[in-house]
Amino acid sequence: MPPRLQVDCLTRRFDGAPVVDDVSFQVEPGQVACLLGPSGCGKSTTLRIIAGVDMQDSGRIFVDGQLICDTSFRIPPERRAIGLMFQDFALFPHLPVRENVAFGLPGGFKANRDRVGALLDRVQMTRHIDSYPHQLSGGEQQRVALARALAPRPRVLLMDEPFSGLDERLRDGIRDETLALLKDEGTAVLLVTHEPQEAMRMADQILLMRSGRIVQQGAPYNLYNAPVDRQAAGFFSDINVLTGRVQGALTDTPFGRFLTPGIPEGAEVDIVIRPQHLRIDFDRAGQGPAPTAENGTAALARVTRARYLGRDSLVEFATDAGAITLNATVPGVFLPPPGTPMWLMLRRDRVFVFPRG
């Protein structure tokens, strides 16, 4: 079986500069792939080319193995069986909900009562079937827009920041409901977002994009736990970075030595760890915990600031030796006063080592 959506070596240049640069990926039926990256990295342009409203300079797009677009052949957007749900998903203001949902279906609502009814039921909007868009809240409009996008049973659904207009408190619920419906429908979804949390929550597969290129793709777990470089690690959470130099395949730090396999002798490296993977221990008259294989060597540091963030506390430290600053998150309330000496360790299995780029 060919993939539902296959994108091969897509490139798009504006004024000679590549904005989408040799992008390739596949999405299977029922799978949600998230194109994730900072503003301006080329996500929306990629989506627009797949939708057929922009044209690539090179590369090919297939749906279920059928070529829908290369540089000489192009199926028009309305015949691609690709649904769209964009940021400014305007519903038609002069049509009631039922006609909005039925808009893409031959025969309108009258000929498609069952499909429209089932979708409105699924998005819990049945009681609003005769309402007009201006009578609905933002979240309700979003649900109708989703039903409308799915009504013609698109083989692929493209979503560009579909939740960004919604109230923060509404978002998680609507994301989860949307995900459940998309899975039931078996549509292949390509969702554009610049929010790592959204991608982690929604995606089966994340396509991490930077400056027009996909720098890493895989399951959320893999991107979080095995980032390809320092920037990729930093995209998903705050990070702490220690710097060092390779000597004999090892790099020395106040937290012990780290293996630096494959990095040339003498090269500078970044040793990266997320704040939740620091271990903290109290000072006992200048004595710290003994080194372990799991946590390496402890280094003495002093609290510079501690803040309570709701679920956990963020404690900022500066080491005595070398004046390295580090952030640690600790579950619950933990607010030691500034100046408190504490011993810090790095969970060895959570440390990433990258050549300095």
Using CB under 6 A, pick the residue from 9, 14, 282, 333 that binds ligand ATP: 14
- Among the listed residues 84, 330, 339, the one whose alpha carbon sits nearest the alpha carbon of residue 192: 84
Residue 232 or 344 having the CB closest to ligand ATP: 232
Specify the stretch interacting with ligand ATP by CB under 6 A; choose among 22-30, 33-41, 115-123, 221-229. 33-41
Q: Least distance to ligand ATP from the beta carbon of 16, Å?
A: 11
Q: Least distance to ligand ATP from the beta carbon of 319, Å?
A: 37
Residue 15 or 114 having the CB closest to ligand ATP: 15
Long-range contacts at 316-324 (CB < 8 A, ≥ 24 apart): 317/342, 317/344, 319/254, 319/344, 321/254, 322/254, 324/242, 324/254
Residue nearest to ligand ATP (CB): 44
Using CB under 6 A, pick the residue from 194, 210, 230, 274 that binds ligand ATP: 194
Contact indicator for 35, 190 with CB cutoff of 8 Å: yes
Please give the size of the binding site for ligand ATP, defined by CB under 6 A: 11
One-letter identity of residue 351: V
On the CB side of 287, how many CA atoms lie within 13 Å of its CA?
Answer: 4
| 19 makes contact with ligand ATP (CB under 6 A) | yes
Find the binding residues for ligand ATP in span 43-82 (CB under 6 A): 43-45
Residue 86 or 258 having the CB closest to ligand ATP: 86
Residue 195 or 316 having the CB closest to ligand ATP: 195
Locate 31 and state its tokens: 């799978």
Q: Least distance to ligand ATP from the beta carbon of 225, Å?
A: 25
Residue 155 or 194 having the CB closest to ligand ATP: 194
One-letter identity of residue 250: L
| 41 makes contact with ligand ATP (CB under 6 A) | yes
| 39 makes contact with ligand ATP (CB under 6 A) | yes
Strand partners, 35: 192, 207
Residue 45 or 260 having the CB closest to ligand ATP: 45
The rounded distance, in Å, linking the Cα atoms of 230 and 228 is 7
Q: Least distance to ligand ATP from the beta carbon of 188, Å?
A: 20
Residue carrying the six token digits 């868009």: 133
Locate 221 and state its tokens: 């777990």
Please tell me what DSSP assigns to residue 298.
-
Q: Least distance to ligand ATP from the beta carbon of 156, Å?
A: 18
| 84 makes contact with ligand ATP (CB under 6 A) | no
Specify the stretch interacting with ligand ATP by CB under 6 A; choose among 40-48, 262-270, 316-324, 333-341. 40-48
Residue 42 or 254 having the CB closest to ligand ATP: 42
Please tell me what DSSP assigns to residue 337.
P
Binding residues for ligand ATP, rule: CB under 6 A, are: 14, 19, 37, 39-45, 194
